[in-house]
Amino acid sequence: VYALDKPWHEHHLCCYHCLKPIKQSLGHMERNGRVYCIKDYKDLFLPKCRGCGLTVEKDAVCAQDGRLKGKWHAGCFRCGTCKKPFPDKKFYVYNESPYC
Protein backbone atom coordinates (compact mmCIF):
# COMPACT_ATOMS: atom_id res chain seq x y z
CA VAL A 1 0.00 0.00 0.00
CA TYR A 2 1.30 3.48 -0.83
CA ALA A 3 0.53 6.35 1.54
CA LEU A 4 2.36 9.57 2.28
CA ASP A 5 4.59 8.86 -0.74
CA LYS A 6 6.04 5.65 0.67
CA PRO A 7 5.20 1.93 0.73
CA TRP A 8 3.54 0.27 3.74
CA HIS A 9 2.58 -3.25 4.67
CA GLU A 10 -1.21 -3.21 4.74
CA HIS A 11 -1.32 -4.23 8.42
CA HIS A 12 1.03 -1.37 9.38
CA LEU A 13 -0.96 1.43 7.74
CA CYS A 14 -3.29 2.63 10.50
CA CYS A 15 -5.79 5.47 10.75
CA TYR A 16 -4.41 8.39 12.73
CA HIS A 17 -7.78 8.84 14.48
CA CYS A 18 -9.14 5.36 15.28
CA LEU A 19 -5.73 3.60 15.11
CA LYS A 20 -7.22 0.65 13.19
CA PRO A 21 -5.38 -0.86 10.19
CA ILE A 22 -6.69 0.43 6.86
CA LYS A 23 -7.61 -2.19 4.29
CA GLN A 24 -6.30 -1.32 0.85
CA SER A 25 -9.64 -2.34 -0.69
CA LEU A 26 -11.44 0.37 1.33
CA GLY A 27 -8.91 3.09 0.61
CA HIS A 28 -7.61 5.92 2.74
CA MET A 29 -7.35 9.72 2.78
CA GLU A 30 -4.35 11.88 3.61
CA ARG A 31 -4.41 15.25 5.33
CA ASN A 32 -1.59 17.30 6.85
CA GLY A 33 0.85 14.39 6.69
CA ARG A 34 -1.53 11.96 8.39
CA VAL A 35 -3.50 8.98 7.10
CA TYR A 36 -7.19 8.43 7.88
CA CYS A 37 -9.69 5.70 7.10
CA ILE A 38 -12.50 6.94 4.85
CA LYS A 39 -15.09 6.93 7.65
CA ASP A 40 -13.01 9.00 10.06
CA TYR A 41 -11.95 11.40 7.31
CA LYS A 42 -15.58 12.10 6.43
CA ASP A 43 -16.60 12.45 10.10
CA LEU A 44 -13.70 14.74 10.96
CA PHE A 45 -13.27 16.94 7.90
CA LEU A 46 -16.39 17.06 5.72
CA PRO A 47 -19.17 19.53 6.57
CA LYS A 48 -22.29 18.38 8.39
CA CYS A 49 -25.80 19.10 7.13
CA ARG A 50 -27.55 21.72 9.27
CA GLY A 51 -30.81 19.90 8.66
CA CYS A 52 -30.01 16.29 9.56
CA GLY A 53 -26.49 16.45 10.98
CA LEU A 54 -25.07 13.85 8.56
CA THR A 55 -22.00 14.41 6.40
CA VAL A 56 -22.51 16.44 3.22
CA GLU A 57 -20.37 14.82 0.54
CA LYS A 58 -21.78 16.40 -2.63
CA ASP A 59 -24.68 18.46 -3.98
CA ALA A 60 -24.79 20.81 -1.00
CA VAL A 61 -27.08 23.81 -0.59
CA CYS A 62 -25.41 26.88 0.87
CA ALA A 63 -25.97 30.62 0.80
CA GLN A 64 -23.77 32.35 -1.74
CA ASP A 65 -24.25 35.72 -0.07
CA GLY A 66 -23.12 34.54 3.37
CA ARG A 67 -26.49 35.17 5.08
CA LEU A 68 -26.61 31.54 6.21
CA LYS A 69 -23.68 29.64 7.64
CA GLY A 70 -23.18 25.95 6.93
CA LYS A 71 -24.46 23.52 4.32
CA TRP A 72 -27.55 21.36 3.79
CA HIS A 73 -28.43 18.35 1.69
CA ALA A 74 -30.84 19.56 -1.00
CA GLY A 75 -33.68 17.56 0.59
CA CYS A 76 -32.95 18.95 4.06
CA PHE A 77 -33.06 22.65 3.14
CA ARG A 78 -36.49 23.56 4.52
CA CYS A 79 -38.28 26.21 6.53
CA GLY A 80 -37.16 26.32 10.16
CA THR A 81 -40.79 26.40 11.37
CA CYS A 82 -43.10 24.49 9.02
CA LYS A 83 -40.36 22.22 7.56
CA LYS A 84 -41.65 22.71 4.00
CA PRO A 85 -39.17 23.12 1.11
CA PHE A 86 -38.76 26.38 -0.79
CA PRO A 87 -40.19 25.62 -4.27
CA ASP A 88 -39.53 29.15 -5.56
CA LYS A 89 -36.10 29.25 -3.84
CA LYS A 90 -37.13 32.33 -1.84
CA PHE A 91 -36.65 32.42 1.92
CA TYR A 92 -35.91 34.75 4.79
CA VAL A 93 -33.10 34.41 7.28
CA TYR A 94 -33.70 34.79 11.01
CA ASN A 95 -31.30 33.64 13.74
CA GLU A 96 -29.13 31.99 11.08
CA SER A 97 -31.97 29.72 9.88
CA PRO A 98 -34.10 29.83 6.69
CA TYR A 99 -37.84 30.58 6.88
CA CYS A 100 -40.67 30.85 4.35
**What averages of pLDDT result for each successive group of 10 residues across the chain (100 residues)?**
88 93 90 95 94 90 83 91 89 90
Q: Is residue 9 part of a domain?
A: yes
Element (H, E) at 44: helix 38-45
- Residue 76, helix vs strand vs coil: helix
What residue numbers bound the domain in which 16 lies?
A: 2-45
d(CA 59, CA 71): 10
- Count of domains in the chain? 1
Amino acid at 66: G
pTM listed for this prediction: 0.73
Amino acid at 27: G
Q: Is residue 78 part of a domain?
A: no
Q: Is residue 98 part of a domain?
A: no
Q: Is residue 73 part of a domain?
A: no
Per-residue pLDDT, 26? 87
Q: Is residue 55 part of a domain?
A: no
Q: Is residue 6 part of a domain?
A: yes
Q: Please answer whether residues 25 and 38 qualify as being in contact, where contact means their C-beta atoms are separated by less than 8 angstroms.
A: no
Q: Is residue 28 part of a domain?
A: yes
Q: Which of 45, 49, 68, 69 is nearest to 59 (CA)?
A: 49
Amino acid at 39: K
DSSP label at 90? -
Q: Is residue 92 part of a domain?
A: no
